[in-house]
Structure 1
Amino acid sequence: MDTLFHNSRRKLSQGLLFWREAGEGTPVIFLHGAWNDSSQWVSVINSLSQNFHCLSPDLLGFGESENPHVHHSIDFHVECIAEFLQAVRLEKVYLVGYSIGAWIAASYALKYPDQVCALVLLAPEGVGIEGQEKNSRKMRKLVSRPPIFSQSLKWFRPLNKILGLKEKLEKDFNLRQKLLAYPNSFQLLFQRRQSEIEAEFLHKRLHLMEVPVLILQGGQDLLDAVVKTQTYTQLLPKVELQIIAHAGNDLPSSCPGIVARDIQNFINAN
């Protein structure tokens, strides 16, 4: 049986925030990833809302939330979540985050430890790894190419196939479309000054984390994602790591039942 969701909106100081809500009991906040909105969590919440009060906001600038003309940063979204929790009168919550949602959740727990019971982080962003700046330059270069570039990929597909370039060019085309579809994520991850991004990285502060943390990682995910998870696991003082061996990326969508089970078990234990 599908869960009955309530869709709500609340005016925050920086803009109108939309969220999905279901269930009663212990409050659990779900923060979506870079290339998603709160709908990413619907299948997981379908399982968990029988036992928990689940709230899944669209971050400002994503989904049905307002897109204010601001400079997006991790701390901006941390403060928006803080204002949101105050508005809905939730004093202490569990935070669950995927990708940049995990980065925001971990940053929130470091800044407001008294408001967080525990964290669940899925494929977390927010730590520096080797080759990251080079990858950022690649992403910026891919997006900066003129529109004719995308069209030319379609024109030359038959030739690309003959030359053996089809797979690479298709991958670049699809990646460029994703980056363009989520400009605020592109800004957060790749378009800000490197010094600003590094200032919000967490690897120098994770040892200060006061709350228990569960990390979920797909065993078939990209190497960069696996290395970031390993960094979190090595630096956090109270951490449990669960590898979902057969899974790739986007764990909330690809294996929601396993994710919901692991979250429930972790919350019940903490």
Structure 2
Amino acid sequence: MRASRWNETENAEAYAAFTHRFPMYADTSRDVVERADVSAADGVLDLCCGTGATTRVLLPRLPDRAQVWAVDGSPAMIDVAKAETADPRVTWIRSAAEEVDRCRAAAAPLVDAVVCNSAIWQTELPVTFAAVRRVLRPGGRFVFNIGSQFLRYPGQQPRELPPETANVVALMRQAAIEEFGYQPQPLPRRRQPLTPDGIRTELERAGFRQLAAEDVEYDDPPELIQAWLEVPIFADNVCPGLPYPQQRRALELAVQRVVPGPREPARWCLVTASAEPAHT
């Protein structure tokens, strides 16, 4: 079920509601867009655009002549994005990130920047980086971010989840067992954590020069955890196979039972790269 959740209207609408309710996506979008240097751009590609949060941050920062190609693999996410973003400069395209170089018309010009907010780790990096390089003009910027739980620094163990989030997740599973007789299923397999050196190496192989890799912190209010897990695809990460109404009830019970503790800001790594000229 999980693989199809991204294509469900219910999930897309819940995801969009989350992005409107909390500033996290607006904040991460702002930082990604600022580093893409788009003030004089003719064309920008928003990779893994979701329900359009980053596209809407991009638009007022672009010249009137500029075009945006907003690309996502989920038709449901694109439908919601279209409904919320009425700007003729945007072309919405359904495509996997790994095939972004094949999703536009053959005569489409190379773009000045590619941005990807809160999604790059879900793609196959070598293939995605190579595809992005093929649509980006020499010297153009490629900017993306990675949450700390998907990144491992030298000498550190990968950070699965912040402590309070991990507590809510554990209590949600326990409530599902007690209330609904839930039999825990194997959780979705997580990808191997990325490393700073590995990211830099893959960028260089694809024809990029990494300009910066910054650690950035964002506010992580307690109520964000519940709202995040109300999105069906993220509820499936906790209790796969349990019907969504029961997932919601288990989450409500978990939030009632959790003992608040010290909170840490959400940590992200923000990577900026430049497309190197092609060798002849």
Per the normalisation by structure 1, the TM-score is: 0.40
Per the normalisation by structure 2, the TM-score is: 0.39
